[in-house]
Chains A and B, each alone.
Chain A
Amino acid sequence: MKVPRCKGMRDLLPDDMVKFRRIEEVFRHCSLKWGYEEVRTPTLEYLHLFTATGTLTPGMLGRVYSFLDWDGWSGERVVLRPEGTIPTVRLYLENLTGVEVSRLSYVGNTFTFEETGKERRERWQCGVELIGTSQPLADVELVLLASEVLGKLGLGPLEVRLSHAGLIKALIGELGLGAAEQTQIFDQVLEGNIKALGEIETEDIDLKRVLALLLDVTGSSPGFLENVRALLGKALPRFEPSLRDLASIAELLGTMDCPYQIDIASGRGFEYYTGVMFQFYISKEQVGGGGRYDDLISLVGGPPIPASGFALYVDQLMDLLILEERPASRILVQSQDGDVTGLNSCFEVARSLREAGYLVALDHGQKAMGDFRWLLSVSGEGLFRLTDQATGGKCELTSEAEIRQVMENSR
């Protein structure tokens, strides 16, 4: 009988979990070495934590899993966290504001509804937040950390795409739209349709040229931004701070030999970004993203503290990761007699082999033993018969030390 699984939800099978843990381990190891401390926020948050910022689009908030709690008679809802940054900011505000610069990392799941059920409604992320500094160096640190993690996973060449929320906002501002229209176009951009910007009619010839350049051309050096600057003409002062910020980040990345692309059209996602936005691609698949969100902490209710962060998408990474061979030295221990003394010897030898680092399972009369390289048959008198399933070789042994010796030699 097949018992159905909830639509849009995913089981992680043993092979998946090996990949999952591998990604998590590499991420935790690297971020710890860069000075990030791990935190974990609860799965449930108040919905108003997310609406309060006024920075998530109605489209996004319309797809969250929200409901009334058992004491929710006030009509205020709770929500399965739809993303990782805002809860981490809440955690920071509640506990860590005394720290000048906080480096926090987390591994967690997020929940967003999507209609077909073919895509995932539960997603896993590895993320970091760097809170308390507004320097371009901080953004560069994040890009370098993400590249290190992805590099160590050995998934193939990484593409870093840079965009800038300040630039996009300035562009929308130049188009001379009404407030409602501006909100609408902004929502479209955030939901991934930045080309909508290019479809707006404008009589400003300079602006048209800049739009065409920014949306259609991908830059790969600070020189590209110089070209934009030259084209902007009289509108330049309104773009200058964002251009300068993006240029210094690009320059630093260049110095660190970290290749990047300036692709303004890649900017999408959360409305709370205020500065640089970065996206990470491997084999055309987006595997992560992040950016600077200097206003978010005050929108959540805290003091004005600058911050930036990124998240890597574990599900996508798992699809790309090629599973290493399972460790070959798995051992299945059988008792020859099945009496108490025999079982005792089995447990005894299994325990000391585990302590020596081997993976040892006890036989429950199973027929298929293909998962195990070694079969170890134990008699009550303390005699061992070891079979190498890879070669068919058999030998009789009298001590645990001999068993280890044989297995070592066969490596």
Chain B
Amino acid sequence: MKLALPKGRLLKDTAALLERAGLRPEGYDERSRSYRLKSSGFPDLFFKVFQERDIPIQVAIGNYDLGICGLDWVAELLAKYPSSDLVKVRDLVYGRSDLCVVASGRSGISSLGVINDGFDRVRIVSEYQNLAESFALRQRLRRFSILPIWGAGEVYPPESADLAIIAETAAGNLASYDLVPLARILTSTAFLIANRDGLAKADISELLACLQPFEAETEAETVLPAGGEAKGEKMAEGEEVVRIALPDGHLLKPAAEFLDKAGLNIRGYAGEMGEGGECRESEKATRRPTIDLPGVTIKVIRPQDMPLQVANENFDLAITGQDWLNDHLYRFPSSPVKEILKLGFGKVTVVAVVSKDLPAHDVHGLRDLVIGGLLPTLRVASEYVNIADKYARDNHLERCKIIPTWGASEAFLPEDADLLIENTETGETLARHNLTVIDTIFKSSACLIGHRDTLSHPSKKGRIERIIDVIKKGG
């Protein structure tokens, strides 16, 4: 019997649930770095810890009999694959969040009704791209584009997107970004989910009986904050403004130091960061830092999302990693995004990794296993879907199946994937998980990227070149 457990925001309450049920997986806590857990009282149970978002697909394809994750990610899977083998077993009540369609209070969008008339094309950003698409179709938007993002959706409207579909966990956090909720797509709580086949064949009644919500607690309806009046000064946004995107996450600290050294005076970028580098609301750090250059604005977003954003001219300049630039360019070879400067910090190596137990020392050995039928379908897990796809193609690793992951990818090997395309700094994490590198794909570090046309923009050109010059000196 295999159970998939969530990392992150649901971890604490899920641990408490398992504790009450008497299952007690050893080492399931926020500090632990192990992904495979056992419970001494239940030797037949195997637990694995995943990013919440990976759990519905893992259960749907039958790698796990049961899983616990938010309803939002279940709905995201079912929106695209309604006939997948996923059964919602029970509402566990905790971990409530509302998935909302929001617009900026400054955009003048006050209700969904006006959207079709006001826009030539409606730009929607979301981590939930399938739900975003069915929302757009249901709403009968005449023309729309959906830009998938890894996070920080709240900072996109109004300049970089017209609508964002984001999870709101506590009433009020929309208001601090001056966002107006237009509709609630669903209310998500933690759910116990099961694989249809597993449920049909094996007797898991004992487990189902003990995985109960603590009490039939009915939380009070979260009241969405009312659509606020436009507050704060009107943004001086327009064609003329030079827009820069700076990274959050592990690139934040070195990027802040680098820019500081170059002599760019940016306030509100490096402050107190939340766990995992998420930008936390505090006096110091914000997702919209300021810079003392006239006509220049800054937003802090995920480095993964930058190439796509720059391609769409939502930003003129951005600092991201070459790994994410390559992942973008492999998917969109004629993309107008280009690397302007190598910045040198944030060095990682993108590598191909297998379990030490797999009898393959290099990619040729791996190919032999695929051709020889030992791995009839090679399962490749990666956050870099397009790099992984190209790597498999270039090395003739056929047949293969790419499994997109959302972090903690090393946990997939060996049970749930055979090959991992991953970045590594020192290789320590890989070694700790009994993994070995069989190929180095490329070395990556931070870089400044821009849109092909940006440098020749008549009125922005001068300012952009000055910024690039300053950054050059920083290196």
Contacts and interface: CB of A to CB of B under 8 A. Distances in A.
Given A73-B312, A75-B145, A75-B146, A58 B332 contact: no
B84 to A, nearest CB: 11
Nearest to B125: A75
Contacts of B328: 73
A116 to B, nearest CB: 8
B335 A73 contact: yes
Nearest to B313: A74
Say what secondary structure dominates the interface of chain A. loop
Given A51-B140, A51-B143, A72-B332, A58 B134 contact: yes
A71 B143 contact: no
Contacts of B116: 54
Interface residues of B, number: 27
B144 A71 contact: no
A121 to B, nearest CB: 14
Given A70-B332, A70-B334, A115-B82, A75 B138 contact: no
Contacts of A54: 116, 140, 142
B142 A73 contact: no
B333 interface: yes
A48 B143 contact: yes
A76 interface: yes
A58 B137 contact: yes
B327 to A, nearest CB: 12
B140 A70 contact: no
Contacts of B333: 70
A105 to B, nearest CB: 29
B308 interface: yes
A58 B334 contact: no
B115 to A, nearest CB: 12
Interface string A264-295: 00000000000000000000000000000000
Interface size class of A (residues with CB under 8 A): 10 to 19
Contacts of B148: 75
Contacts of A115: 82-83
A61 interface: yes
Interface in A60-82: 61-62, 68, 70-76
A348 B333 CA distance: 53
B332 A48 contact: no
Contacts of A61: 137
A52 B140 CA distance: 8
Contacts of B123: 75
Q: Which of B116, B145, B308 has the most CB of A within 10 A?
A: B145
B147 A75 contact: yes
B37 interface: no
Interface in A5-56: 48, 51-54
B144 A51 contact: yes
A76 B138 contact: no
Nearest to B139: A58
B312 A71 contact: no
B121 interface: yes
Interface in B323-340: 328, 331-335
B141 interface: yes
Q: Which of B83, B144, B308 has the most CB of A within 10 A?
A: B144
A42 B328 CA distance: 28
A52 B335 contact: no
B352 interface: no
A115 B84 CA distance: 10
Nearest to A72: B332
B137 A62 contact: yes
B311 interface: yes
Contacts of A72: 332
Contact of B141 (A51, A74, A75): A51
B134 A73 contact: no
Contacts of A70: 331-334
B140 A74 contact: no
Interface in B128-155: 134, 136-138, 140-148
Interface string B419-448: 000000000000000000000000000000
A75 B144 CA distance: 8
Contacts of A62: 134, 137
A210 B202 CA distance: 55
A58 B142 contact: no
A73 B311 contact: yes
B142 A74 contact: no
B119 to A, nearest CB: 12
B83 A74 contact: no
A62 B133 CA distance: 9
B373 to A, nearest CB: 13
Contacts of A51: 136-137, 140-144
A46 to B, nearest CB: 9
A54 B146 CA distance: 18
A74 B312 CA distance: 6
Given A51-B144, A54-B140, A76 B121 contact: yes
B143 A52 contact: yes
Contacts of A58: 134, 137-138, 140
A75 B305 CA distance: 13
Interface in B304-363: 308, 311-312, 328, 331-335
Nearest to B312: A74
A71 B335 contact: yes
Interface string B14-52: 000000000000000000000000000000000000000
A72 B332 CA distance: 7
A51 B328 CA distance: 27
A48 B144 CA distance: 7
Interface in B93-130: 116, 121, 123
B334 A71 contact: yes
A178 B147 CA distance: 33
A73 B334 CA distance: 9
Contacts of B83: 115
A74 B334 CA distance: 12
Interface of B: 82-83, 116, 121, 123, 134, 136-138, 140-148, 308, 311-312, 328, 331-335
17 contacts: A48-B143, A51-B137, A51-B144, A54-B116, A54-B140, A58-B137, A58-B140, A61-B137, A70-B334, A71-B332, A73-B332, A73-B335, A74-B145, A74-B311, A74-B312, A75-B147, A115-B82
- A-B pairs, 5 with minimum CB distance: A75-B145, A48-B143, A73-B311, A58-B137, A76-B145
Given A51-B144, A62-B134, A73-B308, 6 more contacts: A51-B137, A54-B142, A73-B311, A73-B335, A75-B312, A115-B82
